[in-house]
Amino acid sequence: MLQIQNLHAAYGKVEVLHDISLEVPKGKVVTLIGSNGAGKTTTMRAVSGMIKPSGGSISLNGKNITGLTSNKIARAGLAHSPEGRRVFATLSVTDNLLLGAFPRLTFGRERGDVQGDLARVFELFPRLKERAGQQAGTLSGGEQQMLAMGRALMLNPEVLLLDEPSMGLAPLLVNEVFRIIAELKGRGITMLLVEQFAAAALEVADYGYVLENGRIACHGPAQQLKDDPAVKAAYLGASH
């Protein structure tokens, strides 16, 4: 579904991604793990067009999306729930969600069942329904995270990029986020997941890539990575 080949990316003159290749097959969940500054978020940003890659190619469903602007990539069917949530603070929860479906609402005709999707998102995140009319900026961190995920789902994406969905959340909410990811997986949504909680991410994922200093250090089926002693030592046992 999503294919990245020999991706390079730089901030200014400093190259931070070197030759990243990875693949997200349809209906699967793939996770990127690695320490802070390894390039996980940069990879996500390069895929969704928030930064222009300096080399390599990215294709979505066989269509080349390398170097397109982020709005074109979104229209091609890639949703990205960015690091730090980035909800539209002065808009209501419902408006935030509707904007997630923006490409389907333009030119005066609705494409697909937007209202039905809205209802489904509210069903998935009951908290959001309670807050439907509230300004997004006044939500708590956990609610904002749900909103960011719900907003990305409103696109009915081919691929969903989730960047650090558990960031800044209380442990209880972290569990909730992973439960939702598992549920989305059950619905057959293709996902690329970046998570600092590597153990939990590998638990829900089918396949994993380990990033180190902007390079892919190793990759393999999630189960295999989880049992890999090197990975275990570096990322899974971080606090033990």
**Tally: H helices and E strands in the chain:** 10, 10
- Per DSSP bridges, beta strands 2-11 and 14-24 are antiparallel
Nearest-approach distance from CB 96 to another protein, in angstroms: 8
Residue from 13, 62, 109, 116 binding another protein (CB under 8 A): 13
Residue 217-236 contact track with another protein, rule CB under 8 A, x = bound: --------------------
Nearest-approach distance from CB 118 to another protein, in angstroms: 13
Nearest-approach distance from CB 85 to another protein, in angstroms: 9
Per rule CB under 8 A, is residue 19 in the interface with another protein? no
Single-letter amino acid code for the residue at 23:
E
From residue 57, how far is each of 25, 41, 45, 80, 191 by CA, in Å?
Answer: 16, 17, 14, 18, 19
Buried/exposed 71-94: b ≥16 CB within 10 Å, e otherwise: eebbebbbbbbbbebebeeeeebb
- CB nearer to another protein: pick between 56 and 100: 100
Q: How far apart are the first and last CA of the chain?
A: 37
CA distance 16 to 27: 29
Site for another protein in 71-130 (CB under 8 A): 71, 74-75, 79-80, 82, 84, 86-91, 95, 98-100, 102-103, 105-106
Nearest-approach distance from CB 168 to another protein, in angstroms: 3
CA dihedral 4, 165, 203, 161 (to 10 degrees): -20
Residue 157-186 contact track with another protein, rule CB under 8 A, x = bound: -------x-xxxxxx--xx-xx--------
Q: How many residues bind another protein, per CB under 8 A?
A: 62
Longest dimension (CA), the chain: 56
Nearest-approach distance from CB 23 to another protein, in angstroms: 22
Per rule CB under 8 A, is residue 14 in the interface with another protein? yes
Indicate if the alpha-carbon torsion angle 16, 161, 183, 27 is positive or negative.
negative
Residue 181-210 contact track with another protein, rule CB under 8 A, x = bound: ---------------xx-xx--x-------
CA distance 76 to 94: 23
Residues that bind another protein (CB under 8 A): 12-14, 16, 35-37, 48-50, 69-71, 74-75, 79-80, 82, 84, 86-91, 95, 98-100, 102-103, 105-106, 137-141, 144, 151-152, 155, 164, 166-171, 174-175, 177-178, 196-197, 199-200, 203, 213, 238-240
